[in-house]
Chains A and B, each alone.
Chain A
């Protein structure tokens, strides 16, 4: 670890969690609408993929981190039941509840658990089937019922405020939708209905939901799952497995929560992003691939600004002037992201993570980024009242063995 890297003592502590930790396998189920499947069955498909790809058997997976679900959300024993159904005896078991931020947060927790000696190999699984079943209940106490159309309405408020301050160019959001759709066309795991190209004209014809947000700025809830297998570098080397290394991670929940008149646009990415980059010793222009959590197109724009790819208010221009294709300067959500591959409920964040891992292993087929070196993956969890999201987290990965 050279001194040029790392944001001081705190940075070193954050990075220590990842020392000698690697990802050795990924797996993903295809996104489907109303699949009729349970999250457990989807998790089974993912686990079986992880075992097959790594050669690491059930008896050697001693840790499990499970993302939360909408479909099984009412069950407080979800992660225990999952381990039982998947045949995993664990010495470390973690149910996550950071919404879409759970996958990369789970990776960080898993790394800490492995480093502490609690376990050696963790299956990090995100599975959900909200278009088949919904048992979760997360209505906030005292939240006004003013007919806001859920998360799209909350994002419409953010976009309206942003437009007032800086001018939001809808053609920039349209470019994000068009670019990511091209990724979905090349991604066999994307929702089949989305696997046809989109034009900017079609984007502009998309109906307004809650001004100024359009249907094509939003995700569609589907059933799906993904996961990765995390272990020690020594174990990966012993088994001669291909690997991806996490090198930096930062997380902020409830950014400026007590500051009730704070800028509603400013999110935890404003600190998590720059700190993760400093920890990794990278400038934003050295990030090769960006796999941001994309529940809405506008979330990508805000992240580009707050993480530091461009200045506040310059997001539209940055998007319009940057090649975001797999061969471009900053490859963006190459598999279509959630907007174009579909959002597998609260398994959402796993989709962005698994695509980054697949790219870094050089297995992304026709959408492969040439000479993959590094990738940034982000997570967003829950939408706060009159603010932006509750959880912002940032992960940087690089090619391992």
Chain B
């Protein structure tokens, strides 16, 4: 398969401009890059503001509540995920009009597009934020 020959590192390769994201995560906080002038959020981190091309970016803590936009269930493990199959990889849409890709701690049968999820306030073994189903929110379909 396409990526079988280059074993990726287990943790993300942090950039200089993205380092605050990873530092905050290790401290238990989910923060996102935002344009200081327009307040527009962007993720993954970038070296310029997508709103105006400036370098005036800051970091804001977000609630971490969102909805599943797309997901897949892996029955074969990616490197580093041995013994964890089946597991869920999802793209989650956040109210800040950005998306994040994360694992969802849930039974594969229980996930569907539109389901409410939230930051589980813990990290996956790879250092990424882990999400869980938000049972408090009625799971209305979102397109």
Q: Which residues of A contact B (CB under 8 A)?
A: 70, 130-131, 134, 136-137, 139-153, 156-158, 160-161, 164-165, 208-213, 218-221, 257-258, 260-261, 264, 295, 343, 385-386
Asked if B78 and A141 make an inter-chain contact with CB atoms under 8 angstroms apart, the answer reads no
Asked if A157 and B70 make an inter-chain contact with CB atoms under 8 angstroms apart, the answer reads yes
Asked if B72 and A164 make an inter-chain contact with CB atoms under 8 angstroms apart, the answer reads no
Asked if A153 and B74 make an inter-chain contact with CB atoms under 8 angstroms apart, the answer reads yes
Encode contact with A along B86-112: 1 for CB under 8 Å, 0 otherwise.
010101010001111111000000000
A149 cross-chain contacts in B, Cβ below 8 A? 1, 3, 74, 76, 78
Q: Which of A148, A164, A210, A260 contacts B101 (CB 8 A)?
A: A148
Asked if B98 and A144 make an inter-chain contact with CB atoms under 8 angstroms apart, the answer reads no
Encode contact with A along B23-53: 1 for CB under 8 Å, 0 otherwise.
0000000000000000001111100001000
* Contact A147-B3, Cβ < 8 Å, known A139-B9, A157-B91: no
Alpha-carbon distance between A397 and B8 when the two chains are bound, in angstroms: 39
Alpha-carbon distance between A143 and B101 when the two chains are bound, in angstroms: 9
Alpha-carbon distance between A139 and B9 when the two chains are bound, in angstroms: 9
Q: Which of B42, B89, B103, B127 contacts A260 (CB 8 A)?
A: B42
Q: Any chain A CB within 8 A of the CB of B14?
A: yes
Encode contact with A along B1-23: 1 for CB under 8 Å, 0 otherwise.
11111101111111100100110
Alpha-carbon distance between A137 and B5 when the two chains are bound, in angstroms: 11
CB distance from B55 to the nearest CB of A (A): 16
- Which residue of A134, A142, A210 has the most chain B CB atoms within 10 A of its CB atom? A142
Closest to A259 in B: B50
Asked if B89 and A153 make an inter-chain contact with CB atoms under 8 angstroms apart, the answer reads yes
A150 cross-chain contacts in B, Cβ below 8 A? 1-3, 78
Q: Which residues of B contact A (CB under 8 A)?
A: 1-6, 8-15, 18, 21-22, 41-45, 50, 69-78, 80-81, 84, 87, 89, 91, 93, 97-103, 113, 124, 126-128, 143
List 22 contacting pairs A-B, 8 Å CB cutoff, sorted by A.
A140-B13, A140-B44, A141-B13, A142-B12, A142-B18, A143-B13, A144-B102, A145-B126, A147-B103, A148-B78, A149-B76, A150-B3, A150-B78, A151-B2, A152-B2, A157-B91, A164-B143, A209-B75, A211-B72, A221-B4, A221-B5, A264-B91
Asked if B50 and A258 make an inter-chain contact with CB atoms under 8 angstroms apart, the answer reads yes
Alpha-carbon distance between A164 and B72 when the two chains are bound, in angstroms: 12
Alpha-carbon distance between A295 and B2 when the two chains are bound, in angstroms: 10
Q: Which of B2, B9, B70, B84 contacts A147 (CB 8 A)?
A: B84
Which secondary structure characterizes the binding site on chain A? loop
CB distance from A231 to the nearest CB of B (A): 35
Asked if A261 and B89 make an inter-chain contact with CB atoms under 8 angstroms apart, the answer reads no
A152 cross-chain contacts in B, Cβ below 8 A? 1-2
A213 cross-chain contacts in B, Cβ below 8 A? 72
Asked if A142 and B6 make an inter-chain contact with CB atoms under 8 angstroms apart, the answer reads no
CB distance from A295 to the nearest CB of B (A): 8
* Contact A142-B89, Cβ < 8 Å, known A134-B5, A147-B78, A157-B72: no
CB distance from A224 to the nearest CB of B (A): 15
Asked if A264 and B69 make an inter-chain contact with CB atoms under 8 angstroms apart, the answer reads yes
CB distance from A334 to the nearest CB of B (A): 24
- Which residue of A143, A151, A257 has the most chain B CB atoms within 10 A of its CB atom? A143
Alpha-carbon distance between A212 and B124 when the two chains are bound, in angstroms: 24
CB distance from B84 to the nearest CB of A (A): 7
Q: Which of B11, B97, B98 contacts A145 (CB 8 A)?
A: B11
A142 cross-chain contacts in B, Cβ below 8 A? 12-15, 18, 21-22, 44-45
Asked if A211 and B11 make an inter-chain contact with CB atoms under 8 angstroms apart, the answer reads no
B42 cross-chain contacts in A, Cβ below 8 A? 260
Alpha-carbon distance between A53 and B132 when the two chains are bound, in angstroms: 61
Asked if B101 and A160 make an inter-chain contact with CB atoms under 8 angstroms apart, the answer reads no
B113 cross-chain contacts in A, Cβ below 8 A? 160-161, 164
A261 cross-chain contacts in B, Cβ below 8 A? 93, 97-99
Asked if B74 and A260 make an inter-chain contact with CB atoms under 8 angstroms apart, the answer reads no
Asked if B87 and A145 make an inter-chain contact with CB atoms under 8 angstroms apart, the answer reads no
- Which residue of A146, A160, A264, A386 has the most chain B CB atoms within 10 A of its CB atom? A146
Asked if B45 and A151 make an inter-chain contact with CB atoms under 8 angstroms apart, the answer reads no
Alpha-carbon distance between A156 and B93 when the two chains are bound, in angstroms: 17
